Structure 1
């Protein structure tokens, strides 16, 4: 089958899905950028050519970039599949996040989801958002969680190289100060002056970095972004991974950190409890006292707890399971 793979963000998860689809089908990528008119024009021409060429349109995120390919595909009676994840189904006015807030983006997003033959949320939480906020019928929804690839040294036998570091991952932006809980992470660091806290991620907005630095204690380090493989290797040396987000549709960094043997401490928002399960600590959102207590327990965890966290991800969120489910969905549509 020939697949037009449409996305607006060249992230690790889009690359992974493209590789999965390419293992069984012929895939043509359409990366839609619309920061200036000529990019939008090129994307429009590529979308028209791509839809005439393909047998199926597969889009990551139900947003503007998928609308034209889906409309053309429906006119030509070709099936459409969309992955729902995060901003495209979110409605979080308190942090000004999500396309399902009132406005043009909501109308476009709902149109995309209605045109889709299958909608593939990345978590049960996102499936609820997809049905509630985007109005997608349950019969069209098929939950396929993110898949995390197993590193070569995934079996954790000892903590010989484990450092008492506390890590969180997120780009430094005004939105992420609240959405990713970076401000609360800085406040948490002030309660543990003898431990090293790190925020790893690209510095996207200087003003956000300055706001963070204003409250950051001396034991909080913000080194910027790391390459994907370098970050995953670093996670194998970290004791605890903390995620204090206001909103998460899944959180790949959390799953990757757990797989690497980090003890997770997360808040009870979004899909974070769904990922952690009983292999870590889930505490109330914005309750810094309970977060600190959980962190203290996490720092005292032994290698058995690390293995339990790693095994949960390997068992429930493997890359092989995602690949099998994605290909199964396409096979059913192809028939």
Structure 2
């Protein structure tokens, strides 16, 4: 019997923290050979595809199975090669590959060509592992400008590929409240990449946060992820911008704030929300996808995308028992979404393929 571990091919559109975490999980049971799909400019996409094509030609015959993080352009060749070579292909559905928001041009299914490649990938795959059941199919009521339903089964009618939900997982021993940090009362925090783009500001609800800050001068608002020298036009004095920072520094920032805001129009299973809850922040989220379930009774849900409703909700939050809710928020994530659970369920699923 060979001592060699079975070979697994792993494909992803970017080396984000959850991609790295899944890579580490799979390396416990497999020899993982991986390749990113990272064109710096759109015109480079065919060159990256060519590189992926030759990677697959080289490795497909020795591989036992293939895994793609998200569906999209980068998952089509792996799904096709897997079908031809009769090797199982698992797609981890994470969020943007399950939705369409034409009003802001967001989501794989909002773009006709990308939508086709995403749909074909799901059809060719052996199995889909969404990070939350709301990514399969969900009713959507947060704002009225797009589809009344979202999810990959809504956007891929007749899709026969089976799925199993495997939740994200978090390390409660790393993400914990700082012992020496003083938590500022009436302090609100959000973390947002691409903050300088109007599209991102709307997608992530930053415009709502700025409006709330103008109306609530007694509160403070911190936004992490600002490029150097960036400021909003007419930025309220109670809004502070911080640059993107390493995870170890982020832990201290979470621990210094009372509330965490995630007011996105679309989300999968947001990491920053879960990390902040483990650090004792009281969550305030939009009524979108997995977030109301993640929060449970430990925070507040904005039912509609309206600044007036948000201001009322933030006032209610500031009057709440924040130490009790913060502890409950931590327990919600630690108990329901531990890292060990994702590891066990993901490896079990791969073993069954």
TM-score normalised to structure 1 length = 0.91
Shift in Å at residue 26 of structure 1? 1.3
CA distance in 2 between partners of 1:292 and 1:138 (Å) = 44
**1:181-211 deviation per Cα after TM superposition (whole angstroms, max 9, x unaligned):** 011111111122233211112539x9xx66x
Pick the aligned partner of 1:75 from 69, 84, 92.
84
* Structure 2 Cα separation of the partners of residues 39 and 100 of structure 1: 22
Q: What is the match of residue 261 of structure 2? A: 242
* Contact kept in structure 1, 2:68 and 2:90, CA below 8 Å: yes
- 1:215 Cα deviation from its structure 2 partner: 4.2
CA spacing shift, 1:312–1:136, aligned 2, 3 Å? farther
Instruction: Spell out, residue by residue over 1:36-75, the C-alpha distance to the aligned partner (whole angstroms, 9 max, x if none).
Output: 2544433332232232331101000111111112211111
1:324 corresponds to which of 333, 344, 349: 344
Choose between structure 1 and 2: higher helix proportion: 1
Q: In structure 2, list runs of 5 or more residues that go unmatched.
A: 1-5, 138-150
Partner of 2:162: 140
Q: Give secondary structure in 1 for the equivalent of 2:351.
A: helix
Match of 1:176 in 2: 200
Q: Specify which of 89, 92, 99 is matched with residue 101 of structure 2.
A: 92
- After superposition, give the CA deviation of every residue in 1:228-258 in whole Å (9 maximum; x if it has no partner): 2211232122110011111111211111111
Of 180, 186, 207, which residue of structure 1 is paired with 2:210?
186
CA distance in 2, matches of 1:110, 1:72: 16
Look up the match of 2:145.
Answer: none
CA distance in 1, matches of 2:58, 2:318: 55
Structure 1 match to 2:3: none
Detail structure 1 runs of 4+ shifted over 4 Å in the superposition.
136-139
Structure-2 change in CA distance of 1:228 and 1:50 (3 Å): farther
Check conservation: 1:186, 1:215, Cα contact below 8 A. no
Q: How does 1:145-294 map to 2 (within 5 A)?
A: 145-152=167-174, 154=176, 161-164=182-185, 165-171=187-193, 172=195, 173-203=197-227, 213-294=232-313
Structure 2 SS opposite 1:9:
coil
The separation in 2 between residues aligned to 1:159 and 1:265, in whole angstroms, is 24
In the alignment of these two chains, the number of paired residues is: 327
Q: Deviations over 1:51-107 (max 9, x none)?
A: 233110100011111111221111111000001112212111111111112511111
2:333 to 289, 292, 313: 313
Considering only aligned residues, what root-mean-square deviation do their CA atoms show, in Å?
Answer: 2.2
Deviation at 1:159, TM superposition (A): 9.4
Q: Aligned-pair distance for 1:270?
A: 2.4
Question: TM-score, length-normalised on structure 2?
Answer: 0.86
Asked whether the 8 Å contact 2:7–2:65 carries over to 1, the reply is yes
Give the 3-state SS of the residue equivalent to 2:98 in structure 1. Answer: coil
